[in-house]
Structure 1
Amino acid sequence: MNWYVVYTKPKWEKKVAEQLIKSGIECYCPLITQVRQWSDRKKKIEVPLFNSYVFVQLEESQRNTVFSASGVVRYLFWLGKAAIVRDEEISVIKKWLDNADGADILVESIKIGDAIKLESGPFSNQKAVVQEINNTHYVLVLESLGCVLKIKKKL
């Protein structure tokens, strides 16, 4: 069975994942914890790692069953076919999210455009290109995984 990417209505990722699980479809909506500030308080909330995307694992012949969940818009396509995500890529995302709080990241003298190899953490041995550096974070492009990694600086 393949993993496919389902595009959802904005802010519907968790609702769609719940509906798909209830209907017996294996799905994965990676969530991260963020601190949000309102005028009167701060609160930790779980938000999707990928806005408007949920991963579903099912047979090609069952692809239309996801449309029974309200909030599903369409599948994500790549080169005219439904985009397929490899099991290893889903495992890397899960591993990264499980270890995100415990990962120590050491940043040395790095410039935009540098090609680096990550030495520790869930993305160890992955090659990345530094895309952005600012006061609060670094942005790395992991070309082999086709994703962008935003790393918060420790202050």
Structure 2
Amino acid sequence: MLKLSDNPAARWPIGRPLQDDLGNWWVVRVKPRAEKVRAWQLAEKGIGYYLPMFTKRTLRRDNHKTRKSVLCLFPGYISINNYPQVKDPILRTGKIIRVISVFDQEKFVRELENIRRALDQARELELHPQLAVGERVVIADGPMQGVEGVIEDIKNPEKIFLNVEMFNRAVAITIKADLLMPVHGFSLPAKAGQDKHRNAGLAI
């Protein structure tokens, strides 16, 4: 298992906005547990990518200490930039299962950006099969304002799911119910300082 400091950067080039590569995203399916090795190789070759990761904390049975592990949020997948221009060095490694075209680039980048913001802000994440039904809501305030998700269970409205269709997965995050409202009733404020009380119309 890698040390925390030995893990690759989630985004390469580091700090480059995902939106800056709109129109040039591809998804690569790699062999199991080869995501991090692939990310290091991509960075060495100067190839842009995004590999969302999260820290999982588990209690060791032998000494009851907490162990931290950095895991890939979407095992077996890595998003890369400009595949047609860099396919030769990528394919030569022999660890590629297949390459997937991203037809709706704007939607894909929007979903990745939601995941990135969730990873930056959420304390707990869970991976689930992709969801197809449920009340669609938006986070109306706070650091994740504007991120959209789906409520799976009305009995647990504080858990919302962020779908990523390309990976057939959804990420669950927990957020206060009073920060959520239906998508159709929300619009971003035009100016700072406007009334921030947006609780009217909550359906949860």
Check whether TM > 0.5.
Answer: yes
| 7, 27, 32: which one aligns with 2:54 | 32
TM (norm. structure 1) is 0.66
- What is the deviation of 1:18? 0.8
For 1:60, the equivalent position in structure 2 comes to 84
Look up the SS of the partner of 2:152 in the other structure: strand
RMSD between aligned alpha carbons? 3.5
The answer as to whether partners of 1:127 and 1:143 remain within 8 angstroms in 2 is no
Correspondence 1:15 to 2:37 = yes
The answer as to whether partners of 1:127 and 1:142 remain within 8 angstroms in 2 is no
| 130, 148, 151: which one aligns with 1:130 | 151
Correspondence 1:96 to 2:115 = no
Larger of the two Rg values belongs to structure: 2
Does the C-alpha gap of structure 1 residues 89 and 127 become closer, same or farther in structure 2, counting only changes over 3 Å?
Answer: closer
Given residue 67 of structure 2, which amino acid in structure 1 is its aligned partner? Answer: K
- What is the deviation of 1:134? 8.2
Does the C-alpha gap of structure 1 residues 149 and 100 become closer, same or farther in structure 2, counting only changes over 3 Å?
Answer: same
Correspondence 1:118 to 2:139 = yes
The answer to which of 52-61 and 4-13 deviates more is: 52-61
| 153, 166, 170: which one aligns with 1:148 | 170
Partners in 2 of 1:144 and 1:123 — Cα distance? 20
Q: How many residues align?
A: 138
Look up the SS of the partner of 2:134 in the other structure: coil
The answer as to whether partners of 2:122 and 2:174 remain within 8 angstroms in 1 is no
Look up the SS of the partner of 1:51 in the other structure: coil
For 2:28, the equivalent position in structure 1 comes to 6
Partners in 2 of 1:131 and 1:10 — Cα distance? 29
The answer as to whether partners of 2:115 and 2:162 remain within 8 angstroms in 1 is no
Does the C-alpha gap of structure 1 residues 117 and 24 become closer, same or farther in structure 2, counting only changes over 3 Å?
Answer: closer
Structure with greater contact order relative to length (CA < 8 Å, sep ≥ 6): 1
More strand per residue: 1 or 2? 1
Does the C-alpha gap of structure 1 residues 50 and 142 become closer, same or farther in structure 2, counting only changes over 3 Å?
Answer: closer
The answer as to whether partners of 2:30 and 2:98 remain within 8 angstroms in 1 is yes
The answer as to whether partners of 2:112 and 2:164 remain within 8 angstroms in 1 is no
Partners in 1 of 2:169 and 2:141 — Cα distance? 18
